[in-house]
Amino acid sequence: MATAGGPGEEDAFARYRSPLVSRYASPEMGFNFSERKKFGTWRRLWLYLAQAEKSLGLPITDEQIQEMEANLDNIDFKMAAEEEKKLRHDVMAHVHTFAHCCPKASGIIHLGATSCYVGDNTDLIVLRDGFNLLLPKLARVISRLADFAEKYANLPTLGFTHYQPAQLTTVGKRCCLWIQDLCMDLQNLERGRDDLRFRGVKGTTGTQASFLQLFEGNHEKELDRLVTAMAGFKRAYIVTGQTYSRKVDIEVLSVLASLGASIHKICTDIRLLANLKEIEEPFERDQIGSSAMPYKRNPMRSERCCSLARHLVTLVLNPLQTASVQWFERTLDDSANRRVCLAEAFLTADIILSTLQNISEGLVVYPKVIERRIRQELPFMATENIIMAMVKAGGNRQDCHEKIRVLSQQAAAVVKQEGGDNDLIARIRADPYFSPIQGHLESLLDPTSFTGRAPQQVARFLKEEVHPMLTPYQSKMGVKIELAL
């Protein structure tokens, strides 16, 4: 029923929807942070607890276990919402909802547990699964960029320091700088996932007192180990308060924030190269760059990555502050913000990785533009080579240096004051002083002689570091990304 002057409940477009889900993120990552995944995992954790307690001798029947197994995904969300409104407690609302469809097992659901048994353990499962969704995406981005780097390993391009022309590098070598950062991120994501432990079965303040009471003081009944293994974790935190340490969230979001910084740098480089007209991201045939300027080809994918990456980088501040104010065994001022920042971090990382894969699969290089820019700057860079050649031909180093200094200043004035092309080489050709090396000028100006070992570095880096790192993900390399928006 619509409220007075308000939209009907059935109108989904009349309510705020996070664009992270409605506009960008993959269905898989959206599901990972969905209520169905969350509450379905709660029920599985209650099942693991009951199975483990039964195996250790508590009076739980096969029939009760089977009833729970049969209703893991039979969730009455409307009933749960009504129960939570009445009880003001989300976990107990779902205990009652689960018990309603499991009347025989109702008395043993959540036996001995505290809310964080399902809440924190589910969060750790979701974080682990989130990493497992991100890792193949990141590996695919690295793989696509590695193919690009190999293809353009030998193509000279003007390098920049301080965004001022510097020595030459190659297009492939520059791409390897991007790849190296992403390889560090891949290692960090793997470490972040592998370092996660299960909270386990710890009780209200982490002492396991309630479970010790259930087993009549028998310390040999290792319920914690059993449930940890059932949930797919190799280890549980040995000590916890009511919650797992919120420093874990800092570690997780730090890894994702670092990935965001890498992608922001890469996509900023692509945006700058697009301005130089040297490299562009994919641009669809019917895509409009500007509503007012039909000629524009805006790097909107890279801009989206930068925009969302900035959001991702800032999210780590939340768990930093939360961990610092957790009193003693726990407070509840962590709950509401963790619902937001943990999900948003993984959803945002998911989006920017998918977008960057799409970009890396369609990067367009314009060698003629790159060559022209090199021609504009290379004469100045080649002056030392020209001096050395003149000395070898019998010239005086100081005399040659002064000749080139004067000609360079004249050529620079043409570029800066008249807007003309760099004519330093034409001036050198016209000066009789340089006649001894006139036949060698072309070879002295060959761009490939200014790129050093860049091509060899690309080949070695890809062979020794990148390809071995991608081996575990080979079965998932075939996925291609098409962006809906």
The residues annotated as belonging to the active site are 162, 290
Whose structure tokens read 């390399």?
A: 477
165: β partners:
160
The span from the CA of 224 to the CA of 202, in Å, is 7
Single out the residue of 373, 185, 319 nearest to residue 265, CA to CA.
Answer: 185
Closest to 279 (Cα-Cα) out of 172, 353, 193, 409: 172
CA distance 48 to 229: 10
C-beta neighbour count of 479 within 10 angstroms: 10
* Rounded Cα distance, 270 and 279, in Å: 7
Q: Which two tokens stand for residue 94?
A: 């779902």
| Cα-based torsion angle of the residue sequence 63, 69, 70, 73 in order, rounded to the nearest 10 degrees | 150
Distance from C-alpha of 212 to C-alpha of 217, rounded to nearest angstrom: 5
Give strand pairing partners of 157: 169
Q: Is 167 helix (H, G, I), strand (E, B) or coil?
A: strand
What distance in Å separates the CA atoms of residue 191 and residue 131, rounded to the nearest whole number? 10
Residues 6+ apart with CB under 8 A from 146: 179, 462, 466, 467, 470
User: Distance between CA 427 and CA 193 in Å, rounded?
Assistant: 62
Helix (H, G, I), strand (E, B) or coil at 335: helix
Cα–Cα nearest to 330, from 242, 217, 424: 242
Please state the φ and ψ torsions of residue 205, each to the nearest 5 degrees: -120, 15
How would you class 50 by CB atoms within 10 Å of its CB: exposed for 0-12, middle for 13-18, buried for 19 or more? buried
C-alpha to C-alpha distance for 418 and 398, rounded to whole angstroms:
29
Beta strands of 276-350 (E only): which ranges?
A: 279-280
Tokens of 44: 């599985």
Question: Helix 335-360 to helix 300-315 angle, to the nearest 10 degrees?
Answer: 150
Cβ-contact 168, 161 below 8 angstroms: no
Q: How many residues does the chain have?
A: 485
User: Which residues 6+ apart lie within 8 Å of 93 measured at CB?
Assistant: 80, 81, 83, 84, 86, 87
